[in-house]
Amino acid sequence: MSSGPTIGVFDSGFGGLTVLRALLPLVSSAHYIYLGDTARLPYGSKSRETIARYAVESAHFLEARGADLLVIACNTATALALDDIRHAVNIPVIGVIEPGARTALEALPQIRVPHVPLLGHGSAPNPDVSTHPQILVLATTATVQSHAYRAECDALGMIATEVACPLLVPLVEEGWTGHHVTREVLRIYLSEALTECAPHAVLLGCTHYPLIAAAIEAMLRELGSDAIVIDSAAATARVVARTLNGPTPSNPSQPATFECFATDSVEKFQRLGSIFLGQPIPKVELLDLGG
Amino acid sequence: MSSGPTIGVFDSGFGGLTVLRALLPLVSSAHYIYLGDTARLPYGSKSRETIARYAVESAHFLEARGADLLVIACNTATALALDDIRHAVNIPVIGVIEPGARTALEALPQIRVPHVPLLGHGSAPNPDVSTHPQILVLATTATVQSHAYRAECDALGMIATEVACPLLVPLVEEGWTGHHVTREVLRIYLSEALTECAPHAVLLGCTHYPLIAAAIEAMLRELGSDAIVIDSAAATARVVARTLNGPTPSNPSQPATFECFATDSVEKFQRLGSIFLGQPIPKVELLDLGG
């Protein structure tokens, strides 16, 4: 086990392994404890109260297990239960939503300078549209309904259009990441979204989406958009590194270690999880959180 | 409330409403209590023990609420927990798997007569393939992995090929029942399945699939198959009617009544459930089963 910090990473399933994947090389001095609450996924169809209760139970487990810092690698739990989790534990808690939104802001410096429209151009342009970065957020229905990304973008002076893409998670889980059906579904979702906004950045608001980030970017270009694609998983990993005083140098002789817990379906977790983590998961321990 | 029997109908979500939809006109003297355990769906990704525990809790609720007969309108719960439920309650319990398989058998009488191949035809034909009905079962991954349909078909002298179609539920829930993407996904699933078998009947082994039965049948024809399509929901309703001594005559002055309970997401249950039931759901009561 590593001599560095212990970082707890929590998700309702294995999607949060894309966040762990981004963390491993960036904070390689750490030991990671990943918990996927697979017995109770998906959180997306559940109420705020239920999600908060589930997430707090998982947070308590990770804190009791020795986590010095907690990463909520789950957009739904971040959107609906981040405050509950922060109140429930005595360690710092980092969600996935603020890092993604902040990364969008930092990646779009030129747009942050307000553009003063020339006079005499007929109807006055919408000042919001001309002076603030436009962000298209792709997410699950539950995350969109929470409007957590919109609130975060608002607070940072950006205008968010949130679009629910319920088929993308099942397509990724079917393994159709490079499949023509996935491209067609992306074409439908994105072309409809692009009638609603002209985004400077597209924010991937679901931990499954990094696996189709390239397909999303390619479809944006095909549809004539030059929006940059921002991966919340990578953004969150950078915030964790910053919180722990910067990235730790990669040390091949002592790479980051991790252990995985799931509340159900250990076999599925290992099989699908390895794709999300980008490396084999040698062992998954079954955990009973009740419920 | 009706003066006839009270029938409890249970599913992990609202898919089982296709079974209730088939029951309402067939046994119209009954009062129905529908319970969707939406807080803990989908059952498909969970272990047998967890599913059995959830299903038994729901069965106890419906029995305590006055059900005289229990319909498990959920393929996963039928496949993995029918015996547990039967042991846990003191009322008759009807699942969706046996009715579907029996309907296939009854619909294919000509194939039940063993065909004796002519002598002198080179290599001997496979007796299984030539003399037994071939059934293609479309279902979720969990139902396929349980092999419950294969076991039921085996017992009835039919040969089942079970194919997991994990994208069909999300496509139906997206409302894309007549969509070209759904047709394309069906083309992929069915053309692959038809390389494995030449079915006489295709059994819809998921309560969501009746909503795309027409699309499935059309794609089978396009791919050159004349297999009949059997809807487990309708088959189950017929078994319930038989168990209660035949269909009750439709009485417009006293139509069947129903009440709905869900363990979460009452709004989503009402919105999506109405599509599955084919009529508005005026009220859904929230039920806390714990977990």
pLDDT score, position B118:
46
The ipTM value here is: 0.83
Q: Chain A 249-268, CB below 8 Å of chain B: which residues?
A: 264-265, 268
**B188 CB within 8 Å of a chain A CB:** yes
Question: Tell me, what's the pLDDT at B159?
Answer: 95
Q: Which of A55-69, A148-162, B121-135, B251-265 has the lowest mean pLDDT?
A: B121-135
A214-273 pLDDT, tens per residue? 999 999 999 999 999 999 999 999 999 999 876 666 666 678 899 999 998 788 899 889
pLDDT grade for A169, boundaries at 50, 70 and 90: very high
Chain A hits for B287, CB-CB cut-off 8 Å, are: none
Sort out which chain B residues have CB atoms less than 8 A from A50's CB and list them: 39, 264
Of A35-49, A158-172, A200-214, which range is least confident?
A: A35-49
Query: To 5 degrees, how large is the angle CA A221–CA A164–CA A146?
Result: 130
Predicted local confidence at residue A30, as pLDDT: 94
Share of chain A above pLDDT 90, in %: 72
Q: Any chain B CB within 8 A of the CB of A39?
A: yes
Return phi, psi of residue B264, to 5°.
-170, 170
Closest CB from A42, A173, A181 relative to B185: A181
Nearest residue on chain B to A141, judged by CA atoms?
B174
Minimal CA separation from B45 to chain A, in Å: 7
> Would you place residue A122 in the very low, low, confident or very high pLDDT band (cuts 50, 70, 90)?
very low
Is A114's pLDDT higher than 60? no
Mean pLDDT confidence for A22-42: 91
- Closest-CA residue in chain B for A186? B181
Under an 8 A CB cutoff, do B166 and A184 touch? no
Residue with tokens 């970065």: A133
Distance from CA of A44 to the nearest CA of B (A): 10
With beta carbons under 8 A apart, name residues in chain B contacting A290.
Answer: 291
The number of C-beta contacts closer than 8 angstroms across A and B is 58
The residue of chain B with its CA nearest to that of A174 is B166
pLDDT in tens, A179-222: 999 999 999 999 999 999 999 999 999 999 999 999 999 999 99
Checking if the pLDDT of A31 tops 60, the result is: yes
Residues of chain B in contact with residue A265, where contact means CB-CB under 8 angstroms, are 45-47
Looking at chain A, which residue has its C-alpha nearest residue B269?
A45
The CB-side HSE value for A54 (13 A sphere, CA atoms) comes to 32
Residues from chain B that touch A41, judged by Cβ atoms under 8 A, are 45
User: Cα–Cα distance between B25 and B250 in angstroms, integer?
Assistant: 6
Find residue A9's DSSP bridge partners. A34, A71
Of the partner residues A39, A166, A291, the one whose CB lies closest to the CB of residue B170: A166
Q: Which two tokens stand for residue A83?
A: 């405050």
Q: Is A180 exposed, middle or buried (0-12, 13-18, 19+ CB in 10 A)?
A: exposed
Helices (H) and strands (E) in chain A, counts: 13, 10
- Nearest by CB: A46 against B45, B47, B265: B265
* Preceding amide of B42 cis, omega within 30: yes
Closest-CA distance of chain A to residue B216, Å: 17
A96 — alpha (psi -120 to 50), left (phi > 0) or beta? alpha
Q: Which residues of A are catalytic?
A: 74, 206
Looking at the DSSP bridge assignments, the partners of residue B137 are B162, B203
pLDDT of residue B208: 93
Q: What is the mean pLDDT of each run of 10 residues along chain B (291 residues)?
A: 85 94 93 92 79 95 97 94 97 96 86 48 49 92 92 95 95 94 98 97 95 97 97 94 76 81 87 92 89 55
Give the C-alpha separation, A67 to B44, whole Å. Answer: 31
pLDDT at A113: 43
What single-letter DSSP state applies at residue A44?
Answer: G
Nearest to A265 among B46, B181, B184 (CB): B46
* Subunit contact B291:A40, Cβ cutoff 8 A: yes
User: Which residue is catalytic, options B74, B153, B165, B260?
Assistant: B74
pLDDT of residue A120: 43
pTM above 0.90, yes or no: no
Who contacts B25 (Cβ-Cβ below 8 Å, separation ≥6)?
A: B250, B256
Q: Chain B: residue nearest A50 by CA?
A: B39
- The pLDDT, as a whole number, for residue A111 is 56
Nearest to A41 among B45, B188, B291 (CB): B45
Instruction: Tell me whether residue B74 is one of the annotated catalytic residues.
Output: yes
Q: For position A124, what pLDDT does the model report?
A: 47
pLDDT at B130: 58
Q: What is the reported pLDDT for A2?
A: 57
Task: Quote the pLDDT of residue B141.
Answer: 86
Residue with tokens 């349980």: B146
Q: Do A167 and B170 touch (CB under 8 A)?
A: yes
Q: In what order do the strands lie in the sheet with B228-231?
A: B159-164, B134-139, B201-204, B228-231
Say how many C-beta atoms besides its own lie within 10 A of residue A40's C-beta. Answer: 26
Could you report how far apart the first and last alpha carbons of chain A are, in Å? 31
